[in-house]
Amino acid sequence: MQKLKITVNLLTPIIFGGGYMTFDALLASILFDQLGDVEQAHSSVPIRVTDGLFHASAAILEPIDQSRTSFVANLRADHSIDPDLIFKNKKGAIYKAMGRTRRRDFGAVMNSYDMITTPTITWYVDGDPDLISSLIHDTTFIGKRRASGFGEVLSWDIEDGELDGLQGFSGEPLRPIPAERFDGDTSCLRVDAAWRPAYWHPMNRAICYAPEMLS
């Protein structure tokens, strides 16, 4: 393993999916596309991990512009709605039957996303440079709404770094780190955040020292 500074140069604005976009999460998403298994993807990330904590920073960037963008998506009863989430009567029956072809039984919804314009995003990691390079070499889009042209990659740069992906030069957290495991600058921000994969799971949340998120 080696301390690295990794930079992506972007051609188009990027849409974050929420959270901190740690570099291990980015690599796990690439590996999932290849392997098709979430646990195997996370276990295959070529970054140092200590008791579930990856030595990989959150995305570091200086936005030129931040705004919101919206997309319209069509709901289909067969594919988009979980019947278990629909309110039922005392007998367990759904109050209103949903047709599969009638427009009044499904429709369009609008989803809004945070869109960030920035020329570069940087991460600090402690990992295997060759394996990381092989994973990101052919990655041409990152973030959400890639099929819509967001987060298009111009190039990747991998350099020797000085940081381990956990703490910055002044002892500030570079990613969410559980408070009891953090030995840096304790005057920094503390938040309730996910600190290990799977980042969406409530069991993986804790009070952490963390960098400020983009608003």
Asked if the model's pLDDT at residue 79 lies above 70, the reply is no
**Among 76-80, 167-171, 195-199, whose mean pLDDT is lowest?**
76-80
Residue 64, both tokens: 């030129």
What does the pLDDT average to over 117-129?
96
Q: What whole-number distance in Å separates Cα of residue 8 and Cα of residue 35?
A: 24
What is the rounded average pLDDT for all residues in the chain? 85
More confident residue, 136 or 214: 136
Q: What whole-number distance in Å separates Cα of residue 1 and Cα of residue 212?
A: 27
Q: Render pLDDT for 84-104 as a digit per residue (tens, 0 to 9).
A: 656 566 666 655 555 555 555
Q: Specify the pLDDT at position 47.
A: 97
Please tell me whether the peptide bond between 198 and the residue prior to it is cis, using omega within 30 degrees of 0: yes
pTM (global) more than 0.85: no
Contact present, 10 and 21 (Cβ < 8 Å): no
pLDDT class of 38 with cuts at 50, 70, 90: confident
Asked if the model's pLDDT at residue 140 lies above 80, the reply is yes
What does the pLDDT average to over 27-46?
90
Report how far apart, in Å, the C-alpha atoms of 147 and of each of 31, 112, 142, 159, 174 are.
18, 16, 10, 29, 29
Q: Compute the chain's Rg from CA coordinates.
A: 20
Contact present, 188 and 172 (Cβ < 8 Å): yes
The CATH number for 2-64+118-166, chosen from 1.10.3470, 3.40.50, 1.10.10, 3.30.70, is 3.30.70
Q: Domain spans of the chain?
A: 2-64+118-166, 68-112
Q: Specify the pLDDT at position 101.
A: 57
What does the pLDDT average to over 25-52?
91
